[in-house]
Amino acid sequence: MPRHLQREIEGLKKEILSLGAMVELSVREATLAIETRDEVLARKVIEKDIKIDQKEVEVEESCLKVLALHQPVAINLRFIIAVLKINNDPERVADLAVNIAERAAFLATQPKVSISLDFAGMANKTQLMLKESLDALVNMSADLAREVCASDDEIDTMNRQMYLIVQDGIRQQPEQLESLIHLLSASRHLERIADHATNIAEDVIYMIEGEIVRHRAEDYRL
């Protein structure tokens, strides 16, 4: 690889990692705001979303510049295409973090829900999927990407369990209906974040192996 192209590729890796770190922090803070009923933290997540939107545009512009100036081929071309595709996923994850933060801001003003929900467990597993999907990209690890894909079923199961618990809670404590619906909405947003992490992992597999694995879950189930 020409040295100047290698520098550009390394620069792209740093940019997508920087975007990923911003998004990971937003998800972590949004879920913490729900767990701790911290309205101030929730508002902080909402306010900084514009910076993530700006970063996404910067990454896209960098990819297009490298394509135009260097006309890369083979694995380098696949890497840039993967980054272009992946770039949109963290930004959407950040939007979902904002949605969770909005739920947290509301819940902070309400009496605490008195049913047992493992929201923290689901949040931790989702955050790990997001982190590992970006690690797989930077380290070019198809094995790690497949682990991320295989984890998606577990998040789906947790989301279904959350729905059943909330459904039961509404029957038992109808006065908490609105708060329970907001918690269920936050759970659904976590499930969507896991889907975006899976999208990133699938694009990493394509980048490394040149193989499209979407809609082929049986290939990476553990």
- What digits encode the pLDDT tens for the residues 97-121? 999 999 999 999 999 887 777 888 9
Give dist(CA 207, CA 195) in Å, integer.
18
| Listed residue (75, 73, 79) closest to 11, CA to CA | 79
pLDDT of 222 over the 60 cut: no
Query: Which tokens hold the place of 17?
Result: 């990692």
Percent of the chain with pLDDT over 90: 63
Tokens of 169: 């809670």
What is the per-residue pLDDT for 160? 93
User: Distance between CA atoms of 45 and 63, rounded to whole angstroms?
Assistant: 27
Tell whether the model's pLDDT for residue 210 goes beyond 80. Answer: no
pLDDT over 90 at 79, yes or no: no
* Residue with the larger pLDDT of the pair 3 and 33: 33
- Tell me the pLDDT of the chain averaged across its residues: 89
pLDDT, tens only, 123-147: 999 999 999 998 998 888 999 999 9
- Name the strand (E) or helix (H) holding 191: helix 177-209
192 near 100, Cβ under 8 Å? no
Rounded to 10°, the helix 74-107/49-70 angle is 170
- Give the model's confidence band at 216: pLDDT under 50 very low, under 70 low, under 90 confident, else very high: low
Are 149 and 214 in contact by the 8 Å Cβ rule? The answer is: no
Greater model confidence, 209 or 53:
53
List the domain boundaries for the chain. 3-219
* pLDDT value, residue 158: 93
Q: What is the pLDDT of residues 34-75, one digit of tens each?
A: 999 999 999 999 999 999 999 999 999 999 999 998 888 888
Q: Which CATH fold would you assign to the domain 3-219?
A: Methane Monooxygenase Hydroxylase; Chain G, domain 1 (1.20.58)
Cα(123)–Cα(138) distance, integer angstroms: 23
Residues in Cβ contact with 91 at an 8 Å cutoff, skipping those fewer than 6 apart = 19, 23, 52, 53, 56
Q: What is the mean pLDDT of residues 153-166?
A: 92
pLDDT above 70: percentage of residues in the chain: 95
Q: What is the pLDDT of residues 83-97, one digit of tens each?
A: 888 899 999 999 999
Question: Taking residues 147-167, what's their average pLDDT?
Answer: 93
Q: Which pair of tokens denotes residue 136?
A: 């797989």
In tens, the pLDDT along 13-27 reads 899 989 999 999 999
